[in-house]
Chains A and B, each alone.
Chain A
Amino acid sequence: MTALLNDEALLSVEALLSVEALHVAYGRVEAVKGISMRVLPGQTVALLGANGAGKTTTLRTLSGLLRPTAGTIRFAGQSLERVPAHHIVRAGLAHCPEARRIFPRMTIEENLRLGAFIRGNEDLGPDLRQAYERFPILGERHDQMAGLLSGGEQQMLAIARALMCRPRLLMLDEPSMGLSPIMMQQILRTVAELKDAGTTILLVEQNAQAALALADYAYVLETGRIVVEGTGAELLADERVRVAYLGEG
């Protein structure tokens, strides 16, 4: 399912998320200047770029925290440009925000339960068990305050929390940021596992090498515009990308 799709297949599959000519501005400062992109079901798509390129702004706009000034966002057949953030989650779009943003003064289990907030009073037992299986450390410390976890553990919690709403698309914003190399490897492995399990992922990463290795398709942003796009393999091979983003050359 996650095998690379050839071009004809790409066109024939209905995109889960399609963004057309998206513009986002902070007051007079335009941060995203006409981005168009697609995420197909089951794909892992990476969004790369330097700081200030507009990656986080794009994700925050997709999840409704920011309002686009122009452009369209279609997700699973629904227009999202004017939908408030708390309704977008219900459509199946989960956003695991930059810098983790767990609720520090609540327990791990409470954090996870909040992740499933939109599911109302359903029994969350199976989902909690699944989360604890995926991240055993969370299970061991489930009644501790989340603020006491280490950075990597908090990132695990943030991912597990985002998965609790059983999203159709998981957006991860720099999951490896500020982590030790070992922890970074572990988180990236988790992302790979999620991908293998069939989760559709939109991944923003600084670590371009790792992201491209994971991604079926990738877009490279520069000052609010897409400058290069292609399959992960293509971009890994692309001379310009190697020079500009992979620190080679």
Chain B
Amino acid sequence: MTTSSSTGLTAPGRATRRRLGRGADPLVGKCLIALGSAAALGSTFLSWTWTTAFPGDLTVTGYPGGNQLITLFLSILTLLALGPALLPGGVPGTRWIAPRGSVRLLRSLSLANAASTGYVVVAIAWELGGVANYVAGTWIAGASVLLPVLGAWLLPEDDHEPAPARPTPRWAQIVVVFVVVMLGLLVTDFGVTTGFSEEFIGFCLGAGFAGRGLAASGLFDRFSALTAANRVATGWAVFAAAVSFVFLQSSDAYTSVADNILIFATVALGLNIVVGLAGLLDLGYVAFLGVGAYTAALVSGTAASRYAHVVLPFWAQALIGVAVSVLAGLLIGAPTLRLRGDYLAIVTLGFGEIFRITMNNLDGQSGPQVTNGAEGEYGIPDLRLFGYDFGRPHTVLGHTLGRFGNYYLLLVLVIALVIFIFARVNDSRIGRAWAAIREDETAAEAMGVHGYRFKLLAFGLGAGLAGLAGTIQGHLTSTVTPDQYTFSSSAPPNSAFLLAAVVLGGMGTISGPLLGASLLFLIPDKLQFFHNKQLLLFGIALIVMMRLRPEGLVPDKRRRLEFHERETAAEEAYEELVVDELDRSDGLDELEAEARA
């Protein structure tokens, strides 16, 4: 790596400021990082406090536990990331870690470790009442995570264009994809199974900063290039990882969390077809989940159902549930999709309310007895598919799957189906038609795209997928009530949270809503201490997010252009210019030639 040699000449302005404090030999910085990370690594084998009152039991000397695991992992990662920076040209075999240069990665990782570990150290004093609860290990950990931060900022910036990836045989690429996906599974598993808020916060701080670093170092880009080149293998790897999650669980405790995330994410993906791909704003989407859930519940043989004597097999319930949902979608969509987009928002919002009120009213008093009103359909029997009873534990491959484990596997299949449909449709003629409608419906119509038909298709498809998720959700929760399907409430899924999962995650993408749904479910679930401020924080998060990163955590490539980037300005201005000055065709060619130049 190159170092900016101090030539004694003072460059004016920014350059001077940048060099301040950078006079130190980069070797000092690297030593600080190495020493600090090693010390932090070592400290995780010590105890961090003498009392077991702090969650996660940090009193054990000899092996790490609780938050110490995060520190351990981040320290190892930092030491690894130091590899490319150590020898001139990097330690052989480590250069792949940072295609764009390792300094920003080191900064992010050391920050991740400092934030996550520092948070725990502070929390120990805060929750237990003072630094009297610190022991030697706490001091070592707290001090040693600060050194790499200092060290990383002493290193000169080395951001550069990545060298082209070396050609690797296909089997090696596939192996890499599988390994990375499995690593991702382990990280996810750690996050989902965190047992207390401190661990979860430490995890989020660490993962957030580390993720930023990996993005800055170009490693993510390189991995996405790999996945793009091996889409089928990636799909299978992710599927295998998702399935293996349940085999990592020793009990059903966190599988139920995972089940809820999966339902939420499935519906969010369905909504993403409607909002992200077709550009239709649906503010009452959760109602379709409700339609599916109620329909399946009514014909599942629950005693609360008016049709308690009707007990259909699940495949039939699912079919009917989807059919009724699609029907509801078409019923709402048909009249409104011909109109301006804003009207759809209000009509869907109204539909959400109508659904809730109707389910409430069909209780035998305000209407015929169908749904048992506010009490809802309770006692919905467990699913049974091909003789497999989802309510009973089963032993598969030597691992006992509990009730939630059974549902988990089914939900993984369903979300895989939804992802498959999403990807296939998006890449097809239909997806291109949706993109055209989203950008400019009038222009799309002029090109022969039948806007209304495609919008209705998106709306119906979205409704159907939500309905499918609903048919399972009813069995999973064993009770469906009208209040589960509102516009906003403190627990997902509801229409506002669904929309937020799509928008915060990244519209038009697959991983965006998955990430968004996971975060939006886990944060309120894990951080019980602000349980009554969830909706407030959620609202504020929406506002802040729209201001800072309207394209979401995982931006769609095309959409990144649609949002605040310079290219967009040029495109818009180009249109304006065309309207302003070139409404007759002669100047167009000229301008286009210019735009290309």
Contacts and interface: CB of A to CB of B under 8 A. Distances in A.
Contact of A56 (B567, B573, B581, B594): B581
B571 A27 contact: yes
A52 B573 contact: no
Nearest to A52: B587
Interface in B547-597: 566-567, 569-574, 576-577, 580-584, 586-588, 590-591, 594-595
A29 interface: yes
A21 to B, nearest CB: 19
Nearest to A206: B584
A27 B567 contact: yes
A93 B581 CA distance: 22
A223 interface: yes
Interface in A56-71: 56-57, 60
B572 A57 contact: no
A25 B582 CA distance: 15
Nearest to B593: A223
Interface string A7-32: 00000000000000000011111110
B577 A51 contact: no
Contact of B580 (A25, A50, A57, A223): A57
A27 B586 contact: no
Contacts of A29: 570, 573-574, 577, 591, 594-595
A196 interface: no
A65 to B, nearest CB: 10
A153 interface: no
A25 B577 CA distance: 10
Contacts of A28: 566, 570, 595
A242 B44 CA distance: 87
A98 interface: yes
B199 to A, nearest CB: 47
Given A52-B590, A52-B591, A223-B590, A26 B584 contact: no
Given A51-B581, A51-B582, A27 B590 contact: no
A19 to B, nearest CB: 18
A128 B570 CA distance: 42
Contacts of A98: 580
A27 B573 contact: yes
Contacts of B571: 27
Contacts of A56: 580-581
B584 to A, nearest CB: 5
Interface in A197-249: 223
A30 B584 CA distance: 19
B586 A51 contact: yes
B587 A27 contact: no
B582 A27 contact: no
Q: 10 nearest interchain CB pairs?
A: A27-B570, A52-B587, A26-B573, A51-B587, A27-B569, A27-B573, A28-B570, A26-B577, A52-B582, A52-B581
25 contacts: A25-B573, A26-B570, A27-B566, A27-B567, A27-B570, A27-B574, A28-B566, A29-B573, A29-B574, A29-B594, A31-B577, A50-B587, A51-B581, A51-B583, A51-B584, A51-B586, A52-B582, A52-B588, A52-B591, A53-B587, A55-B581, A56-B581, A57-B577, A60-B580, A223-B594
